[in-house]
Amino acid sequence: GGRRFFLTVAVVANLAILGFWKYQGFLAQNINAALGEEFLTDLQLALPIGISFFTLQALTYIVDVYRGEVKVQKNPLYLGMYIAMFPQLVAGPIVRYSDIEYEIDHRRATLAGFAQGLRLFCVGLGKKVLLANTAGVLADSLLVQDAATIGFIGCFSGVAAYTFQIYFDFSGYSDMAIGMGKMMGFDYPRNFNYPYTARSATEFWRRWHMTLGGFFRDYVYIPLGGNRVSVPRFIVNTMIVWGLTGIWHGAAWNFVLWGLYWGVLILLEKFFITRLLDRLPGFVSHIWCVVLFFFGWLLFAVTGLSNVAEWTAALFGAYGWLGTSTLWELQSWSYVSLIPIFIVGSLPWAPYLRKKLEAWAEGDMHRSIVAAPAKGNTAVPPCQALCEGAVVASGRARVLAVVNGLVDVSLVAVFGLSAMAVVSSSYNPFIYFQF
């Protein structure tokens, strides 16, 4: 009835605004090329920053209100604040209204939350300035080269550098946004969970840009029928979702092909490849996934389908190891030595060590008390055992406090180094600002 009509109008209006600003030029260029004449004028519009992100946020609010999952926000200032909240406005994470509905009306900023947010902000800043920008020096110098000129080594190094650049750049922004949200009393959803440790295409997309994946799952895939459809319909629905995922990222055929690439891979895994990978050692699955996202980022990094084909050929050895270049002709190739640092930075060693340390520091009071009487097979009074256990636990807690202090000092150093790097370098925007 009337509710569905207004839902349709609101959704179409939001998508029309996004379509006009983001895809008008793309449509004009392709229609003109197909007709062989200038039928439509490319207005060459400047893309409003963050339009892809805040449009999706507005859509989630509209649909969730229609579904009755959230209440109508009657204060236009609060609604505007949700849609245009500056920390995550331009590059995510995509925050649903339900994520912060309570906090909008009952926000409570605390010193502990501010400290936690500041730590996360420093981590994100370091990822962007110290890691992503450094990887970008190598990527930017190689990705503009002709594949035949730089050969396999140059093409591999360029795509590898871009692989780390886009991860540290995007996850760094998400960390900074989530951190700023915490400083102000908002808890934004996590957007990355070490995606480069994934062992399949499906797992990769459960770890990469998690809020975007959640949006397409809940607002496109499930309404199309989800898994409760026939196999042909499932295949069509999957390709629709991934085609939309690709075009959402940018108005170019590279992005459409990138989305369809992941859609095909996920279908192949579901029907064939997963059964094979399950029988093989885990490291084989991980190598498989590394190859997948490596070639996926090639579609992102290299503009023009003809250039993509040339670079793909180079990666399969069509132009030899070095092409027509020498290792010394591009000074930035020295950055290749930093790739091991990028690899370490993309692995979850920090949370793993913290979890182990906290488990050790919190100790096990019961274990300390029980172990004390058994020492030397002598009977120890319960009160003495309790005291000894408390001393052990107290000592471990002090160790944890010292480690936490060292981490905070390290983050201050990261912030200082990042600030110096920003001051001494030229403007270097986040990659996802263009989306």
**pLDDT value, residue 370:** 47
Q: Are 207 and 76 in a shared domain?
A: no
| pLDDT beyond 80 at 218 | yes
Reported as a single tens digit per residue, the pLDDT across 80-135 is: 888 888 777 777 799 999 998 898 888 888 999 999 999 999 999 999 999 999 89
Report if residue 133 sits inside a domain: yes
CB 240 within 8 A of CB 225: no
**Cα(423)–Cα(98) distance, integer angstroms:** 39
Same domain, 165 and 58: no
For 51-87, give one letter per residue: b (16+ CB within 10 A) or e: bbbbbbbbbbbbbbbbeeebeebeeeeebeebeebeb
Q: Are residues 164 and 297 in the same domain?
A: yes
For residue 435, tell me if it sits in a domain.
no
Residues 252 and 206 occupy one common structural domain: yes
- The type of residue at 278 is D
Q: What is the mean pLDDT of the chain?
A: 85
Tokens coding 187: 């808890």
Are residues 408 and 302 part of one domain? no
The residue among 91, 107, 123 that closes a domain is 107
Full residue range of the structural domain in which residue 405 is found: 350-428
Pair 395, 360 in one domain: yes
Q: What Cα–Cα distance (Å) separates residue 123 from each residue in 93, 106, 322? A: 16, 28, 36
Give residue-wise pLDDT tens across range 327-371: 666 555 667 778 888 998 899 988 888 888 878 777 654 454 444
User: Which band of pLDDT confidence, cut at 50, 70 and 90, is reported for residue 432?
Assistant: low
pLDDT of residue 114: 94
Residues 34-59: what's their mean pLDDT?
A: 87
Can you give the pLDDT at residue 333?
A: 62
pTM of the full structure:
0.86
* DSSP codes of every residue in 208-260: SSHHHHHHHIIIIITTTTTTSS-HHHHHHHHHHHHHHHHHHH-SSHHHHHHHH
Co-location of 276 and 146 in the same domain: yes
List pLDDT tens digits, range 379-423: 545 444 434 444 455 667 777 788 888 888 989 999 999 888 888
Residues 301/159, Cβ–Cβ less than 8 Å = yes
Domain count, the chain: 3
**Is 398 part of any domain?**
yes
**Residue 255 resides in a domain:** yes
- Residues contacting residue 350 through CB under 8 Å, at least 6 positions apart: none
pLDDT at 376: 47
Q: Are residues 366 and 328 in the same domain?
A: no
Which of 107, 127, 150 is a domain's end point?
107
| CB neighbours of residue 88 within 10 Å | 26
Pair (222, 273) in one structural domain: yes
Q: Are residues 200 and 257 in the same domain?
A: yes
267 within a domain of the structure (yes/no): yes
The confidence score (pLDDT) of residue 165 equals 94
pLDDT, one tens digit per residue, over 224-267 is 998 889 999 999 999 999 999 999 988 889 999 999 999 999 99
Burial of 388 (0-12, 13-18, 19+ CB in 10 A): middle
Of the candidates 29, 4, 13, which has an alpha carbon nearest to the alpha carbon of residue 251?
A: 29
For residues 293-301, average pLDDT: 93
Provide, rounded to the nearest whole percent, the portion of the chain with pLDDT above 90. 47
Say if residue 207 is in the same domain as residue 294: yes
Identify the pLDDT of residue 355.
Answer: 85
Q: How far apart are CA 368 and CA 37, in angstroms?
A: 82
Tokens of 28: 């004009």
Residue where one domain finishes, among candidates 306, 325, 347: 347
Identify whether the C-beta of residue 250 lies closer than 8 Å to the C-beta of residue 434: yes
Cα–Cα distance, 157 to 335 (Å, whole number): 9
Which pair of tokens denotes residue 234? 């499932």
User: Rounded mean pLDDT of 199-207?
Assistant: 94
Residue at 185 is within a domain: yes
At 387 the pLDDT is: 44
Q: How far apart are CA 104 and CA 79, in angstroms?
A: 9
Residue 434 lies in a domain: no
**Per-residue pLDDT at 251:** 85
CA distance 258 to 206: 17
CA distance 353 to 102: 34
Task: Flag whether 433 is in a domain.
Answer: no
Based on the fold, state whether residues 76 and 39 are members of the same structural domain.
Answer: yes
